[in-house]
């Protein structure tokens, strides 16, 4: 009985081993010693824990030959990232797919205006809590951008560029000043499936009623009750 069990176990292990190796390729491994993620198919960086004293090392590391192939770049919350850092990062990693600037308060509106167009293959862009005022995308990003997050970005003056993002699937615009007209254009002209417009003061009751009636089918839309 034991021999039969051992044989069965070994047979199953041999047959399942390729699947184990395949599953391992799906994991991104974080190395806490140098703040770099490693993955067989691409390079990813997490700068959220990098200190200001490590700024130059981080920027220098991004200038290595492999950095243009970086797909994932998380710059969430570091207080030291400024306009020049963003320019350097954009030049080093123009092909990044996932970009997270959440709560990077030292990057000015001008810094975003100058640097965002340099990223040409963005799929996910997170600008939550930043000082951005103008959305300025590379023409290619208008084709590739699928997930856009600008929660709490009350200084954005115009969301019009989003209506040209033909692949847009998710737009989280909580507590922004998006207007009724632009919101309806986004619903009409993009493929957005998930939309958050909670606490957006410019969105009126009539627009919410229109959205609920004409645009909510097969979509997830979050909004605040309005009392005009």
Domain ranges of the chain: 29-223
Span 153-166, mean pLDDT? 93
Span 71-78, mean pLDDT? 74
CATH classification for the domain delimited by 29-223, as one of 3.50.30.50, 1.10.20.10, 3.80.10.10, 3.10.20.30? 3.80.10.10
Average pLDDT value over all residues in the chain: 75
Q: What percent of the chain has pLDDT over 70?
A: 66
CA distance 204 to 7: 69
- Weakest mean pLDDT among 40-49, 169-178, 202-211: 40-49
- CB distance 203 to 178 below 8 Å: yes
| pTM: predicted TM-score of the whole model, two decimal places | 0.74
- Residue 119 per-residue DSSP state: -
Span 94-98, mean pLDDT? 86
pLDDT digits (tens, 9 = 90+) for 112-133: 888 899 999 899 999 999 989 9
Model confidence at 187: pLDDT above 90: yes
8 compared with 143, residue with greater pLDDT? 143
Spell out the residues 6+ positions from residue 116 whose beta carbon is closer than 8 angstroms to its own.
Answer: 90, 135, 136, 137, 138
pLDDT value, residue 12: 41
- Residue 161 per-residue DSSP state: G
pLDDT value, residue 94: 86
pLDDT value, residue 30: 33
pLDDT value, residue 96: 85
CA distance 201 to 212: 18
Model confidence at 35: pLDDT above 50: no
């Amino acid at each position: 009985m034991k021999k039969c069990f051992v044989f069965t176990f070994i047979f199953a292990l041999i047959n399942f081993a390729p699947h184990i190796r395949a599953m391992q390729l799906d994991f991104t491994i974080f190395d806490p010693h140098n703040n770099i993620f490693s993955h067989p198919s691409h390079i990813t960086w997490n700068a959220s824990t990098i200190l200001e004293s490590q700024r130059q090392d981080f920027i220098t590391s991004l200038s290595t030959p492999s950095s243009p192939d970086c797909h994932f770049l998380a710059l969430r919350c570091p207080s030291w990232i400024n306009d020049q850092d963003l320019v350097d990062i954009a030049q080093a990693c123009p092909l990044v797919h996932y970009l997270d600037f959440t709560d990077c308060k030292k990057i000015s509106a001008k810094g975003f205006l100058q640097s965002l167009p340099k990223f040409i293959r963005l799929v996910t862009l997170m600008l939550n809590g930043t000082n951005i005022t103008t959305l300025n995308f590379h023409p290619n990003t208008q084709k590739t951008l699928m997930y856009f997050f600008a929660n709490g970005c009350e200084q954005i003056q115009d969301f019009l560029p989003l209506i040209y993002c033909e692949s847009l699937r998710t737009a989280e615009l909580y507590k922004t000043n998006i207007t009724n007209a632009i919101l309806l254009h986004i619903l009409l002209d993009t493929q957005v499936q998930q939309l958050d417009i909670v606490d957006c003061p410019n969105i009126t009751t009539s627009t919410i009623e229109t959205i609920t009636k004409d645009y909510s089918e097969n979509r997830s839309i979050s909004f605040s009750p309005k009392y005009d």
